[in-house]
Amino acid sequence: MGGIVVFGAGGRAGRAVTAEARGRGLEVTAVVRDPARYPDLAAEGVTVVRGDVTDAGATGAVARGRVAAVHAVSPFSGPEPGFDALDPDFFVKAADALLDGLAEAGVGRLVAVGLFADLLGTDGQPVMDDPVAFPAAIRPFALAHTAGLARLRAAGDGGVDWVVLTPGGGLEQDAPRTGRYRLGGERAPGGAQVLSYADLAVAVLDEIETPTRHRTRVSVLS
């Protein structure tokens, strides 16, 4: 199998995916906004490049020759800087650029990391609509993420076979890799769920190597 391209390789999910891919012997093109900020990413089998996930031309250029792409980009890691600078269309632009750029480059598989907030709660409504379960301060980010998912769904049967893998609960950076997970549906699971970034990465690479879900969003559970 050929290599993959990871957009957002400097983040927690992106790093976990890169490590899992290297563990399986796959070469990785690690795409970040500013390579100078991530000197530790470069390693055997990993090529770090500058890229913009919202630019279709640039997206296609860095992905060319790879068999699949991973979208693990976030404009920022949390609400601390505030959301004044958040482009509400960021994930829509990313979806458009990925679908167009990957199709042009001949990359047929896209696996994106989703957001727990837009899974459905027990009432059938998105988790982010419950002020008790989801902080209102992060709602703008959740809405932007959800808009990107809607854009992927609106694309229909295009040239890129995509899937969004959404953690079904909390993610633990330092939790061990067990190699075990299960795929759920659109609803958030009942009870507390904790998934390691490493096991999320296992699910991502499994869906690249042996796709089982197509043009849909599913939850990933421990």
Q: What is the pLDDT of residue 82?
A: 60
Q: Which residues share a beta bridge with 125? A: none
Q: Which DSSP string corresponds to 159-206?
A: SSEEEEEEESSEEESSSPP-S--EE--SBPPSS--EEEHHHHHHHHHH
Q: What is the pLDDT of residue 137?
A: 86
Q: What is the pLDDT of residue 35?
A: 96
Q: For every one of its 222 residues, what pLDDT tens digit does the chain have, with 9 covering 90 and above?
A: 789 999 999 999 999 999 999 999 999 999 999 999 999 999 999 999 999 999 999 999 999 999 999 999 987 654 455 667 789 999 999 999 999 999 999 999 999 999 999 999 988 999 999 988 788 888 999 999 999 999 999 998 889 999 999 999 899 999 999 999 999 999 999 877 899 999 999 999 999 999 999 999 999 999
Q: Which domains does the chain have, with CATH numbers?
A: 4-221 (3.40.50.720)
Q: What is the pLDDT of residue 81?
A: 55
Q: What is the pLDDT of residue 6?
A: 98
Rg (CA), the chain: 16
